[in-house]
């Protein structure tokens, strides 16, 4: 789609002492399992291309934990195409444990100081830690204001990552020696939002935790002495972990490694689950399985839902064309059900670079460079153009124009494997205002009937437009609707602060400008 980005992805790896050597370890041995981290981050590169980094632990060097990070994708940051420079990095940061991160910004600046992991140095080893997280705190403004109420406090960055760092530091202050589980339990009681968190300290202790609602995904696997965790299962599968060993960490659970001992425990009650449905629709790698649900099979089921609702005339000149790459599974399944070809009428240029250009004009130019219509496939055809979602519509308008003008398509019927996006996300997806969304202005009465969808089609300059209904999502993914976060398609948020921010966003309609909701207006005090 090219318009929407998740905040980031996290990964962790640890070789547990005294358990032998895993065949999955690099040839250099267990004291250099950190060498596996760039590969893990490559497999979750889809979750963030703005920056990448890792922190490693080794008791055999002065810098017990040491962090390397920079702006760029994984290949650029870790110099994967330059064997000598890569080897130099891997030797310098060699360790028996590592945490890693890939980032796309939903808040904060696009510079190196915002790249994760964040490391906090301290004289005492248990207070010297580094951490990274995927998600967003909906009550960021309240937490920030609480810290800044003390004039002696200062925040160097406008990001909830720094808030989390200070929250962890506060739990470790003074003479207290809380366990990592207690630290997690205490900070969770103050957080409203989504987080999948990995932490490593100078004692060699590790924490891997998932928020009590399970909004963001987090998987782990254990093979003998080797433990690994990542935002998506594909990163673990490609390291060589057997598929049956890969599990999703339950909401409100944490994995701690202390003194070489691994434990899995709950740190917060999980009364309900609210898995982000967009992971299966768009964000996650199609090869991943999360919370027991295959991304590929979910997208295939969405395509079958589209086929069931299709009412366009079907003849020998009708074809299905996916918008690469995330809508391909849905398009292929739709075409199979309808008995018509699914053809690659749009070719994606995979070498256009990172796609975090801001602004409508930037997105439009990026779409022109990123997708090339094939006239040999499209000319004279009735095209059922399948997209995973429409958020701002900038990319879709460009594609429709190019498919018609350069591709020579006779008709273009847009089919969206998702309901209309009507509300912002405050849990880590880069859409924070109502004004930036395509659908709300057409849905003032709340009804998505054929007339409304035809009005949307005219705005896009398509011949027709069809969305999936909300109930299709839970059927396709295989979770009951109350087990999913569907706030952006329903306006119903799983946390109190998320719901209140939505009211702020609605109050700001027409006046929010370029500011995100949590930047445009203070959240009323007392939210949590």
Q: Tell me how far apart the alpha carbons of residues 274 and 261 are, in angstroms, rounded to a whole number.
A: 30
Q: Which residues contact 452 (CB under 8 A, 6 or more apart)?
A: 442, 443
DSSP assignment string, 344-366: --EEE-TTS------SHHHHHHH
Is there a catalytic annotation at residue 488? no
Residue from 8, 107, 219, 497 carrying the catalytic annotation = 8
Strands 253-258 and 275-276 turn out to be unpaired
In angstroms, the first-to-last Cα distance of the chain is: 33
Q: Tell me how far apart the alpha carbons of residues 241 and 132 are, in angstroms, rounded to a whole number.
A: 23
Q: Tell me how far apart the alpha carbons of residues 189 and 196 are, in angstroms, rounded to a whole number.
A: 15
Whether the Cβ atoms of residue 347 and residue 325 lie closer than 8 Å to each other: no
Q: Tell me how far apart the alpha carbons of residues 434 and 400 are, in angstroms, rounded to a whole number.
A: 24
Q: What share of the chain is helix, strand, coil (3-state, %, to 5)?
A: 35, 20, 45
Q: According to the 3-state scheme, what is the secondary structure of 218-249?
A: CEEEEECCEEEEECCHHHHHCCCCCHHHCEEC
Q: Is the peptide bond before 325 cis (omega within 30 degrees of 0)?
A: yes
Phi-psi region of 377 (alpha: psi -120 to 50; beta: other; left: phi over 0): alpha
Q: Tell me how far apart the alpha carbons of residues 1 and 16 are, in angstroms, rounded to a whole number.
A: 41
Strands 382-387 and 318-322 turn out to be parallel
Q: Tell me how far apart the alpha carbons of residues 520 and 342 are, in angstroms, rounded to a whole number.
A: 44
Catalytic residue ranges: 8
């Amino acid at each position: 789609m090219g318009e929407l980005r998740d905040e980031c992805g996290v990964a962790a790896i640890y070789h547990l002492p005294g358990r032998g050597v895993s065949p999955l370890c690099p040839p250099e041995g267990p004291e250099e399992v950190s060498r596996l981290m760039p590969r893990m981050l490559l497999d979750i590169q889809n979750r963030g291309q703005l920056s990448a980094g890792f922190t490693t632990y080794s008791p055999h060097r002065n810098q017990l934990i040491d962090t390397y990070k920079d702006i760029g994708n994984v290949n650029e940051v870790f110099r994967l195409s330059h064997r000598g420079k890569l080897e130099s990095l891997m030797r310098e940061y060699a360790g028996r444990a590592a945490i890693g991160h890939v980032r796309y910004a939903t808040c904060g600046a696009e510079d190196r100081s915002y790249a994760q992991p964040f490391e906090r140095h301290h004289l005492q080893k248990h207070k010297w830690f580094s951490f990274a997280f995927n998600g967003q705190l909906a009550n960021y403004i309240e937490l920030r204001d609480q810290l800044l109420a003390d004039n002696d406090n200062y925040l160097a960055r406008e990001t909830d990552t720094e808030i989390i760092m200070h929250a962890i530091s506060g739990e470790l202050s003074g003479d207290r020696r809380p366990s990592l589980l207690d630290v997690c339990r205490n900070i969770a009681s103050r957080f409203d939002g989504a987080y999948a968190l990995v932490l490593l300290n100078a004692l060699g202790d590790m924490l891997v935790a998932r928020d009590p609602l399970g909004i963001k995904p987090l998987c782990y696997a254990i093979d003998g002495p080797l433990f690994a965790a990542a935002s998506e299962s594909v990163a673990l599968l490609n390291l060589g972990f057997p598929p049956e060993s890969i599990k999703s960490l339950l909401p409100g659970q944490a994995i701690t490694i202390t003194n070489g001992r691994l434990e899995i425990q709950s740190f917060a009650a999980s009364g309900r689950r609210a898995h982000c449905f967009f992971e299966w629709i768009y964000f996650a790698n199609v090869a991943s399985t999360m919370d027991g649900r295959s991304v590929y099979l979910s997208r295939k089921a969405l395509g079958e839902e589209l086929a069931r609702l299709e009412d366009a005339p079907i003849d020998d000149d009708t074809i299905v064309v996916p918008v690469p790459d995330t809508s391909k599974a849905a398009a292929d399944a739709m075409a199979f059900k309808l008995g018509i070809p699914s053809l690659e009428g749009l070719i994606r240029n995979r070498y256009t670079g990172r796609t975090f250009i801001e602004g409508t004009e930037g997105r439009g130019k990026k779409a022109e460079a990123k997708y090339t219509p094939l006239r040999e496939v499209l000319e004279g055809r009735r095209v059922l153009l399948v997209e995973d979602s429409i958020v701002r519509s900038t990319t879709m308008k460009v594609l429709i124009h190019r498919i018609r003008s350069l591709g020579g398509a006779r008709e273009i019927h847009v089919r969206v494997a998702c309901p209309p996006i009507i509300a912002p996300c405050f849990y880590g997806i880069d859409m924070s205002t109502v004004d930036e969304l395509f659908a709300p202005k057409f849905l003032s009465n709340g009804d998505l009937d054929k007339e409304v969808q035809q009005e949307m089609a005219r705005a896009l300059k398509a011949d027709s437009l069809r969305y999936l209904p909300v109930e299709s999502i839970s059927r396709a993914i295989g979770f009951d609707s109350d087990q999913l976060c569907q706030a952006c398609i329903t306006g119903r948020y799983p946390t109190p602060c998320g719901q209140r921010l939505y009211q702020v966003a609605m109050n700001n309609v027409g006046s929010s400008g370029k500011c995100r909701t949590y930047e445009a207006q203070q959240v009323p005090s007392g939210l949590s």
